[in-house]
Chain A
Amino acid sequence: MGMLAIDIGWGSTLAIKTIVILILVPTGALILGYTFLLKVMSHMQSRLGPMDPGGFHGWFQLVGDGIKFIQKEDITPEQADKRVFAFAPAVVVISTFLVFLVIPAGPDLVVKDLDVGVFYALAVSSLSVIGVLMAGWASANKFSLLGALRAAAQLIAYELPLLLAVVGVVILAGTMSLQGIVRAQSTESIFGFDGIGFPFILTQIIGFTLFLVASQAELTQTPFDMPVAESELVAGYMVEYTGFRFLFFFIGEFGTAFAFAAIAATLFLGGWALPASWGISDGVMRFLGPGVLFAKIMLVAFLMFWVRFTYPRLREDQLQALAWKFLIPIGLANILLTAIFKVAF
């Protein structure tokens, strides 16, 4: 593996990778939570509360929230299916961890560069719906049950547009490996002009929009937040969860948002790479790559959260109609067009 090829053994590599992922997911979740949920939202909504604690720009708010979550009593409802109830948040978080395995942040900074990376990432990200269903069923609460069923219906409906949105990129890159997609965007050129590489967003703007809309639904964020619908179902499948278990759901939600932003940045914005024509060596990109990817993640995440803070919520049947009658046909048309252009040029 290049010039840093020090053989530290299979076991140590696995341990290091595990620790890195275990740290990365909560960190990503906290960064998004702090930046967007506390700061950007406060600015957009003229909220004073999150700007106050700790003095400068309310930096203490996140720490305070963390302390609050940890000191809360851990309540399990009497009629709950206790083991399922306790395990459900873990399932949600595990699915988030699994997505992170294939996201590349540098020439060889990736846990496992699978040949079917895109496919794998989208597949494991939907595992969280099992956790949501478990939580909703085991809580023995009608609001939870309604929320969980809504989540199941919604995630199934939006899995399809999500996949269709990605197919265009796969056709252009000719590979499903995320590293391969990054390389393709970095090395290809636009009609001979290779100054900025070839970020797929230029031709896949429809795919990018579809991906953002569908991932918004996967993340159960407004305008598709019916499963947690605060004003209707109080908090949906999370109603009965308190303290640390609730924090698990929070980390799962924002960690997945981080992962989806990373996937979108990788697929459409060129990922960690800078255009190959700039002539920056892989050795330098090992250190620059994570920073480049992080900047793109924040850009995509800003779009996601901007929509989240602005729009009202659709109704469940309207959401289904939007997916099946609008997004999926557009996705199919996009694939068709991309394929034609791929063959023609």
Chain B
Amino acid sequence: MNRPPRVSEAEQSRASTGERVSAVGASPTATSEPMMEVDPRLYRHLADAQVNVELDTGDMILNLGPQHPATHGTLRLVVRLDGERVISADPIIGYMHRGYEKLTEFRTYPQITTLINRIDWLSSFANEVPFIDAAEQLMGILAPPRAQYIRTILTELSRIATFLLFLGEMGLQVGALTPAFYGFRDREHILNLIEAATGGRFHPNFNRIGGLKDDLPWGWVNDTRTAMKTVFDACDTFEDLVAGNEIFEARTRSIGIIPAELGAAYGVSGSNLRASGVDWDLRRDGKPYLAYPEIDFRVWTHPDGDSFARYWVRLQETREAARMVLQLLDQLPSGPIMTKVPLIIKVPQGEIWVETENPLGQMGYYVFSKGATGPFRVKIRSASFSNVSILPWLLRGVFVPDVITILGSLYFILGDIDR
């Protein structure tokens, strides 16, 4: 079942050696150099003023959003343009703010999973995990191994579902209609699995403090094994149809380069940071959670840090996630899915910070409990908020079409920005 990765060889060797594509005659820069050594490719970001000697045209202010097909919802970008060149871009957020952090203060712990399902609505299950983990750690209980394994499987399935949509939608952002439909079509297999196990396609609300609501339905394991084949096939399709397309490469290579230090300084995380060559994944490097310590997987990185690298890393991570699911299914232990918990859950006094590697990046919950049935205060660290915070820097000096490419390749969900 475990197929070897079908990676273009040049890309793979570069991914392992860390060699960067030298654009504009730039010498490969090691990521450990201090920021004062400026990569020549980034000079355009340093020039604030552009001198147009032919014709002095005024700036135009263009509102991209809140209603715009490329902003995945209601992100608004106020872009100052000189012709088609961006002088400055300011993301304006808050059009979808639903006040979840405040709402959690008035809900009991079991009720809160319903809310946090809706933060990153494409990978809802993965949102539940860190919060439930935080509550369990405060209560000093541990879900049984089978529950941990099923949680891991469902988390990876939501990662696949999210990334399949990204892989298709990125094609749509650069103008190809077909991959988007393939993305939706193939994601359907994963959503069916999540629905079969949890009862909800989008918002599973399946985690309970101390375990899970139900065990897996009969035949689910085999269905999942079959579906993973579809995922491998879909990845092959996307590698040929999108990543292997010359026009796609022309549109994404060395567009929107995020240098590793700068990305880390802005709090960019997840695949976006790994595409800048930072080998950091909370599933491996963070505090151990779920069943991740018991399986082996590769953390994919790409040295370039451009839009293509972000696409490529997510493509590999989709395959990796499918391999992880197969591994987890092979090792799936038997046993109970729920540990013993009191009927009315009260979390003892204390505070805790739990962070996990979600599909969009690092997601964390800071839970402060005063011993009641609901938390006193919850701070949600969502990945997209930090990922889009680099936009004003990243969009300076690019063309309007590249704005869309960069937005697409950063891959944010509006609910994950505004919460």
Closest 5 CB pairs of A and B: A313-B175, A312-B176, A45-B181, A312-B174, A312-B175
Q: From residue B44, how far is it (CB to closest CB) to chain A in Å?
A: 14
Which of B126-134, B212-220, B398-406 lies on the face that meets chain A? B398-406
Contact A315 B60, beta carbon cutoff 8 Å:
no
Which of B191-199, B224-232, B247-255, B288-296 lies on the face that meets chain A? B247-255
Residue of A nearest to B249 (CB): A312
Q: Which one of B185, B247, B404 has the greatest number of beta carbons of chain A within 10 Å?
A: B247
- B277 on the interface (CB 8 Å rule)? no
- A218 on the interface (CB 8 Å rule)? no
- B333 on the interface (CB 8 Å rule)? no
Contact B399 A312, beta carbon cutoff 8 Å:
no
Contact B173 A311, beta carbon cutoff 8 Å:
no
Contact B245 A312, beta carbon cutoff 8 Å:
yes
Residue of B nearest to A47 (CB): B181
* Bound form: Cα–Cα A4–B174 in Å: 54
Contact A310 B401, beta carbon cutoff 8 Å:
no
Binary per-residue interface labels of chain A (77-107) against chain B in the complex, 1 for a CB within 8 Å, 0 otherwise: 0000000000000000000000000000000
Q: From residue A295, how far is it (CB to closest CB) to chain B in Å?
A: 26
- B172 on the interface (CB 8 Å rule)? yes
**A194 — which chain B residues lie within 8 A by C-beta?**
none
Q: Which one of A41, A47, A230, A315 has the greatest number of beta carbons of chain B within 10 Å?
A: A315
Contact A315 B251, beta carbon cutoff 8 Å:
yes
Range for the number of chain B residues in contact with chain A: 20 to 34
- B68 on the interface (CB 8 Å rule)? yes
B interface SS class: helix
- A202 on the interface (CB 8 Å rule)? no
Among A44, A142, A143, which residue has its beta carbon within 8 angstroms of that of B178?
A: A44
Contact A230 B69, beta carbon cutoff 8 Å:
yes
Contact B177 A45, beta carbon cutoff 8 Å:
yes
Given A223-B247, A310-B241, A313-B176, 7 further pairs, Cβ under 8 A: A45-B182, A46-B182, A231-B175, A232-B401, A233-B400, A312-B242, A315-B399
Contact A317 B399, beta carbon cutoff 8 Å:
yes
Contact B250 A310, beta carbon cutoff 8 Å:
no
A283-312 residues at the B interface, CB under 8 angstroms? 309-312
Among B70, B247, B399, B400, which residue has its beta carbon within 8 angstroms of that of A313?
A: B247
Given A146-B84, A314-B250, A315-B399, are A309 and B70 also a contact pair (CB < 8 Å)? Answer: no
Q: From residue A284, how far is it (CB to closest CB) to chain B in Å?
A: 42
- B364 on the interface (CB 8 Å rule)? no
Residue of A nearest to B255 (CB): A315
- A229 on the interface (CB 8 Å rule)? yes
Contact B402 A315, beta carbon cutoff 8 Å:
yes
* Bound form: Cα–Cα A310–B176 in Å: 6
Among A45, A46, A223, which residue has its beta carbon within 8 angstroms of that of B175?
A: A223
Chain B residues close to A by CB (< 8 Å): 60, 62, 68-70, 84, 171-178, 181-182, 185, 241-242, 245, 247-248, 250-251, 399-404, 408
**B251 — which chain A residues lie within 8 A by C-beta?**
312-315, 318
Contact B84 A234, beta carbon cutoff 8 Å:
no
* Bound form: Cα–Cα A314–B250 in Å: 8
Q: Which one of A234, A312, A315, A317 has the greatest number of beta carbons of chain B within 10 Å?
A: A312
Residue of B nearest to A226 (CB): B401
Q: From residue A281, how far is it (CB to closest CB) to chain B in Å?
A: 46
Range for the number of chain A residues in contact with chain B: 20 to 34
- A188 on the interface (CB 8 Å rule)? no
Q: From residue B142, how far is it (CB to closest CB) to chain A in Å?
A: 44
Contact A142 B60, beta carbon cutoff 8 Å:
yes
A-B contact pairs, 5 of them (CB 8 A): A142-B62, A229-B175, A234-B69, A312-B248, A312-B251
Contact B401 A229, beta carbon cutoff 8 Å:
yes
* Bound form: Cα–Cα A304–B293 in Å: 52
* Bound form: Cα–Cα A231–B178 in Å: 14
Chain A residues close to B by CB (< 8 Å): 41, 44-47, 142-143, 146, 222-223, 225-226, 229-234, 309-318
**A316 — which chain B residues lie within 8 A by C-beta?**
84, 399, 401
* Bound form: Cα–Cα A130–B68 in Å: 27
**A311 — which chain B residues lie within 8 A by C-beta?**
175-176, 245, 247
**A313 — which chain B residues lie within 8 A by C-beta?**
174-176, 247, 251, 401
**A223 — which chain B residues lie within 8 A by C-beta?**
175, 247
* Bound form: Cα–Cα A44–B185 in Å: 12
Contact A314 B247, beta carbon cutoff 8 Å:
yes
* Bound form: Cα–Cα A57–B286 in Å: 53
Q: From residue B287, how far is it (CB to closest CB) to chain A in Å?
A: 39
Residue of A nearest to B64 (CB): A232
Q: Which one of A41, A146, A231 has the greatest number of beta carbons of chain B within 10 Å?
A: A231
* Bound form: Cα–Cα A309–B171 in Å: 11
Q: From residue B79, how far is it (CB to closest CB) to chain A in Å?
A: 10
Among A47, A231, A309, A310, which residue has its beta carbon within 8 angstroms of that of B404?
A: A231
* Bound form: Cα–Cα A143–B65 in Å: 12
Q: From residue A24, how far is it (CB to closest CB) to chain B in Å?
A: 29
* Bound form: Cα–Cα A247–B68 in Å: 22
Contact B404 A312, beta carbon cutoff 8 Å:
no
Residue of A nearest to B172 (CB): A231
Q: From residue A231, how far is it (CB to closest CB) to chain B in Å?
A: 5
Among A231, A317, A318, which residue has its beta carbon within 8 angstroms of that of B70?
A: A231
Contact A231 B69, beta carbon cutoff 8 Å:
yes
Residue of B nearest to A310 (CB): B178
Given A231-B173, A309-B177, A313-B176, are A146 and B182 also a contact pair (CB < 8 Å)? Answer: no
**A234 — which chain B residues lie within 8 A by C-beta?**
68-69
Q: From residue B311, how far is it (CB to closest CB) to chain A in Å?
A: 12
Contact A318 B182, beta carbon cutoff 8 Å:
no
Residue of B nearest to A225 (CB): B175
Q: From residue B237, how far is it (CB to closest CB) to chain A in Å?
A: 11
Residue of A nearest to B403 (CB): A232
**A230 — which chain B residues lie within 8 A by C-beta?**
69, 175
Q: From residue B370, how far is it (CB to closest CB) to chain A in Å?
A: 48
* Bound form: Cα–Cα A332–B403 in Å: 36
Q: Which one of B173, B181, B245 has the greatest number of beta carbons of chain A within 10 Å?
A: B181
**B247 — which chain A residues lie within 8 A by C-beta?**
223, 311-314
Q: From residue B168, how far is it (CB to closest CB) to chain A in Å?
A: 10
**B69 — which chain A residues lie within 8 A by C-beta?**
230-231, 234
Q: Which one of B68, B69, B177, B247 has the greatest number of beta carbons of chain A within 10 Å?
A: B177
* Bound form: Cα–Cα A173–B351 in Å: 86
* Bound form: Cα–Cα A154–B286 in Å: 51
Q: From residue B116, how far is it (CB to closest CB) to chain A in Å?
A: 30
**B403 — which chain A residues lie within 8 A by C-beta?**
232
Given A223-B175, A225-B175, A316-B399, are A232 and B404 also a contact pair (CB < 8 Å)? Answer: yes
Contact B185 A146, beta carbon cutoff 8 Å:
no
**B242 — which chain A residues lie within 8 A by C-beta?**
312
Q: From residue A220, how far is it (CB to closest CB) to chain B in Å?
A: 12
Contact B185 A46, beta carbon cutoff 8 Å:
yes
